[in-house]
Structure 1
Amino acid sequence: MRASPIIPTVDFSAGGVQHGFLRLPYSRDDSAWGSVMIPITVVKNGEGPTALLTGGNHGDEYEGPIALFDLARSLKAEEVSGRIIIVPAMNYPAFLAGTRTSPIDRGNMNRSFPGAPDGTVTQKIADYFQRVLLPLADIVLDFHSGGKTLDFLPFCAAHILPDKVQEAKAFELVSAFGAPWSMKMLEIDAVGMYDTAAEEMGKIFITTELGGGGTATAKSAGIAKRGIRNVLKTAGILKGVTDASETTWLDMPDGNCFSFAEDGGLIEPLFDLGEAVRNGDVVARIYPVGRTGVQPLEVRAKMDGILAARHFPGLVKSGDCVSVLAGVISGITE
């Protein structure tokens, strides 16, 4: 396979703090010899594991970029034992546009792995992570939130894995992150995901969902900023004591967690995030908007649980995710 066209302006083996770019040549109408310049920071000092920290996998999710731009400006080499690689906005074109997918090629970064060095811009970025950055890492934290179309309870998550040692290490870091909620997560569409690429390499992978609606709040950004430092301290990469906080564990056991709109219209939520829902409850109504006097479509829960995510904003299309339920794991509050 051909080499990646991406050229880093940092040296991943050098000590100290480096701020630079992953430069991807991209010829376009307004810049014949232009480039996509993806910001990156590398902090290395002494011996220890490597943490790869990423945000902006989807460009309309902001808690991760806030936490990682802040961490990149404030880290000092003497605080670190090992190496920290920070990419605040993986899909940089999407991040600049404020869209989930890239405005260049409509590429969804989190469905583009393993990528291709001779593919689209999004595929080239994914390929660089697949073949260069992920192999350097021991621990991977990829920040997500709901973007413009979902709103979540703030949680940190990892996946149930065949390798129980790898799984246990991931859930240890989820607990250390210290979000108000911690999730044992089920993915409904794992093909091409960054998560899957990292886990298949044996990396300890954790992720988040920290709100949504296409913005961040002081609370959600604070959870992200505190959580990443807790993870790095627990991993022995960053000096200091973790800022412990209570977390409640949730799980998503199967596809019954998810409800989808079978028609479009105006959505009326009947439960708020964190509220208890019983199997068969109407979690939302969808009103047809073409005329008055028409009965709304009722979306019913298929399990007992709490409302962990909901559609955002007020209009839905057929096929949109309306709600996500999660079960509370009794007795696992830390």
Structure 2
Amino acid sequence: MSAVETRPSPITATVDFTADGVQHGHLRLPYSRDDSAWGSVIIPLTVVKNGEGPTALLTGGNHGDEYEGPIALFDLARSLKQHDISGRVIIVPAMNYPAFSAGTRTSPIDKGNLNRSFPGAPDGTVTQKIADYFQRVLLPIADVVLDFHSGGKTLDFLPFCAAHLVHNKVQEARSFDLVKAFGAPWSVKMLEIDAVGMYDTAAEEMGKVFITTELGGGGTATALSASIAKRGVRNVLLAAGILKSGTVEVRDTKWLDMSDSTCFHFASEAGLVEPLVDLGASVRRGETIASIFPIGQTGVPPAEVRAQQDGILIARHFPSIVKPGDCIAVLAFEL
């Protein structure tokens, strides 16, 4: 272990993670800035503990412009009681609180993308310090990790719950069991195109049962997407043996495989996107799924984005103006 890794985290918790009961508190990170020399970044959290049992770590706001997770978790934090559970539930509705409060994907303080900052550093940027605390304090005490995501301001998704293919097949199977229990309309076996530094990767490398979601997008939530998140988190707690009463609300889910790089389609040019198929539509390999019109002049034919495989359109770029390299569409195989 390096000298940096042995340094204590500068973050302190106002809760006792080992104490029974319901505690509403904060993680406090000292942050000296122009308007507050001895200021802090304050991250709300709730801990509910009742005796021995598994620990669920429930997180939202990893990216600050994704709202289904925070809605579900702020709601759960106010309603979950000690007698409801066996074990422990740690609820952090807005992991990257600076980004969440600003409504941005990354932190306005250091432009840090929390979901690309693991394992973090106790003497790094604000975002790296938050990642380090989760890496060294919260993830090690968790058995089950649910991290909510949606498309934010730049993507829109079919509402799905997902887990990754990992080397440990027992761990993988337990994760997909919880994906099924979550009960989203769609369930996905997922490939990340940029897994380095991810919270997901940090949890999975520790052997944790890890699941995530993409529940919509456009930088907002809907009644439907919020209800999927609220029902799903309770289903997961039931399936994990932590929530004592109730039954998993079984919903039909359609399974998809997103474990091939040909699922992702990128813009090669800047311009105005015309979507030619909508989310949930079936497409065939070679079919044009979007056109990109150059906007600097008229009379120029659009560039075509063609499907690299047969599949279902599960994600699309949300703003209509794109730059080269922007992800335009994501397809998944039907299982």
TM-score bracket relative to the smaller structure: over 0.9
1:33 to 2:14 alignment: no
Aligned-pair distance for 1:242? 1.2
1:174 to 2:179 alignment: yes
Q: Deviations over 1:177-235 (max 9, x none)?
A: 00000000011100000000000000000000000000000000000000000000011
Map 1:42-121 → 2, pairs under 5 A: 42-121=47-126
Question: Who is 1:188 aligned against?
Answer: 193
1:128 to 2:133 alignment: yes
Aligned-pair distance for 1:313? 1.4
Question: Who is 1:215 aligned against?
Answer: 220
Question: Who is 2:295 aligned against?
Answer: 289
What's the TM-score once normalised by structure 2's chain length?
0.98
Looking at structure 2, the residues matched to 19 and 306 of structure 1 have their Cα atoms a distance apart, in angstroms, of 42
Aligned-pair distance for 1:127? 0.0
Looking at structure 2, the residues matched to 144 and 157 of structure 1 have their Cα atoms a distance apart, in angstroms, of 10
Looking at structure 2, the residues matched to 242 and 168 of structure 1 have their Cα atoms a distance apart, in angstroms, of 18
After superposition, the CA RMSD in angstroms is 0.5
Looking at structure 1, the residues matched to 312 and 121 of structure 2 have their Cα atoms a distance apart, in angstroms, of 40
Question: Who is 2:3 aligned against?
Answer: none
Q: Deviations over 1:91-137 (max 9, x none)?
A: 00000000000000000000000000000000000000000000010
Aligned length: 329
Looking at structure 2, the residues matched to 313 and 89 of structure 1 have their Cα atoms a distance apart, in angstroms, of 24
Aligned-pair distance for 1:253? 2.9
1:311 counterpart letter in structure 2: H
Question: Who is 2:232 aligned against?
Answer: 227
Q: Percent identity among equivalent residues?
A: 78
Q: Which one of the candidate residues 242, 247, 253 is aligned to 2:248?
A: 242
**Structure 2, unaligned runs of 5 or more:** 1-5
**Helix, strand or coil for the counterpart of 2:34?**
coil
Map 1:288-327 → 2, pairs under 5 A: 288-327=294-333
**Helix, strand or coil for the counterpart of 2:90?**
strand
Looking at structure 2, the residues matched to 234 and 44 of structure 1 have their Cα atoms a distance apart, in angstroms, of 17
1:285 counterpart letter in structure 2: S
**Helix, strand or coil for the counterpart of 1:179?**
coil
Question: Who is 1:332 aligned against?
Answer: none
Q: Which one of the candidate residues 265, 282, 286 is aligned to 1:276?
A: 282
